[in-house]
Structure 1
Amino acid sequence: MLDALIVFSFILTGAAVGFFSVDLLPDSALAQVSNIEGLESVTAGFGALVGVAIGLIVQTSYRRIEKQIIEMPPDRLLARAVGLVVGLLIANLMLAPLFLLPFPVKFSFIKPVTAVMGSLIFAVTGMSLAETNGRALFRLVNPNSYETLLISEGTLKPSKSKVLDTSSIIDGRIEDLLKTGFIEGQLLLPQFILQELQRVADSASDQKRARGRRGLDIINRIRKNYPDRVIVDPADYDDINAVDSKLVKLAQEMKADLLTTDYNLNKVASVQQVSVLNINDLAKALRPTYLPGDDIEIRVLKEGKEPSQGVGYLNDGTMVVVEEGNEYIGDNLVVVVTGALQTSAGRMIFARPNRSAMASS
């Protein structure tokens, strides 16, 4: 109904402008027209057609803006509204002395033009500055804070929340950690992380596509099994391009922990005083130690960096580099551990084929 009203209003306005525009023609031109009523009908029809085009443009723009406002997080909407009001207020206070100054008649247009341009500049600047710290502004206006309101509604738990990144989701161990109950608090899944997973799932690379689909499957399972623990946070930062920077910003604003397996993100977040829970660090602390001489059965999947090396993985994702293992690619193999390397970025085990075990089998 509203769409039809907008278009119809512009049609009437265009027809009226076209109809009365005939009166603006000079008398010499009107004197050459034999049928004034016909000319008015033609101009009114042309104006109505222009009104239809403008009305459709306005109606489409209105619906697009309405959709953006509906999908906009409440903290950002409030921040933009407050920034708009403050910007216009400052513009009026600063431009008020301008209207008291005497201007020659031929320069009288300076006052309204300056007022309009100044109001636009200050309004846009106010919204941009307010949106930069939208959540902080929301907390300032609302003493209970965004997080406290969610807690009172039962959406958030009192425990400290955890922000999930792409690597922790694709890694998959988050699902097992939730089953054990060792992770407390709410899990915040940013909307931009879901979008990144979707881009990875649509990648042309088979490996990336499989990782992306695995991540989406894990998200669907934990949201189904733990509907009260996982929240999709719509927050986004248009002025920040890097996903890692968005994650750090969100964790800072929500005062939440950042759950990740990304070594570089771990370091960057720690520098910015964001608490990080690295699943690799947890696995490193709990993982049984493989000592030199221990036997492991793995499947050699691909070649290593060196021509003679083969690479396989344990069930927990630990990489096993097998010397002289390239000839066993695609086969299950019993290997003997020769060494291990443990870091926050992950763990590597070095091994060689166990010839005696293969001979006995």
Structure 2
Amino acid sequence: MGLPAPRLARSRAATEFAPLRFATMLDALIILLFLITGAVTGFLGVDLLPERALQQVTDLEGLRFVVAGFTALFGGLFGLLAQAAVRRLQLQARQMPTDQLISRAVGLILGLVIANLILTPIFLLPIPTEFVFLKPLAAVIGSIAFGMSGITLADTHGRTLIRLVNPGSVESALLAEGTLKPAISKVIDTSCIIDGRIEALIETGFLEGRLIVPQFVLQELQQLADASNDQKRSWGRRGLDVLNRLRETYAPRISINSADYDDIGTVDAKLVRLAQDLQAPLLTVDYNLNRVASIQEVTVLNINDLAKTLRPTYLPGDRFDLRILKEGKEAAQGVGYLEDGTMVVVEGGRPFIGSEIAVMVTGALQTSAGRLIFAKPVSLMPA
């Protein structure tokens, strides 16, 4: 089963952009409501001015519209602040663990219910007319106080409650206690897909969590696959094949993210921005992208760094079999290579070119080009 055709990809992208369109409509609705509320408040609030002041106004309707314009402006400013607050709440809700989100919601509901039960008898008490405003004030203050108390209690005892509700799942219990953390999603870049080693990492179980493939990365792979340059076309087709196998074998873990940033020109910059927005690590093999993302305080998981870390460490005295492939720079030297590409210089190994012999490590050198190991044939070592 191949990757979707461009038309199908655009259809899927249109579907996945629905949440973004909804968020934009919600922002516009919040600002519009504050604008209308401010305008109506200013228009009707003119009647609350002292009678003496109103008698001095020659154009009452004009005054209403002027005041409505100013209050609408202030309403719009408050709407922007409310929009920013809603965005922060949405970001916190996305980052918050599910168990904590549910426990806080339950705590808030219970707090509001308790506030309603306690405040209802108080509202039935006779209160002088001049103090009637205390009732709604007490309702607001009581609801906020009891609601926040419910959220605080949920943060303190909510995880224990989840354990009591579902005691049979050890994993759920550990997650509820905070001992076990949920796997973090990771953003994959184009170079990581083309590299192909990500398949082995997923298969061995060392790479956990959901893997997010941005839509603009998929588009870049399609552009590479259609390029006139043979090498680029080979890279693009290889990347598409790798991504196709990943989606077939690990479909629940591969997610195509439709977010795009029209104000950002390069794919690397978009990747960094998406990783920042999702608070997710960036999985790559691109050295330059690694440096840029690190400067912008984005967590980077570089497969090349992992491969270097997993290289076997040979100490002086260690022995292993090595095939001598060519002559060295110095007299009597032979050169061979380990499976990971590390060069091994064998003193006295020139006579064994083309043969596999046992060698013993005598030293190692770390250079800018990589690691260099020095060894001698075991047959030439003194007994």
> TM-score of the superposition, structure 2-length normalised?
0.47
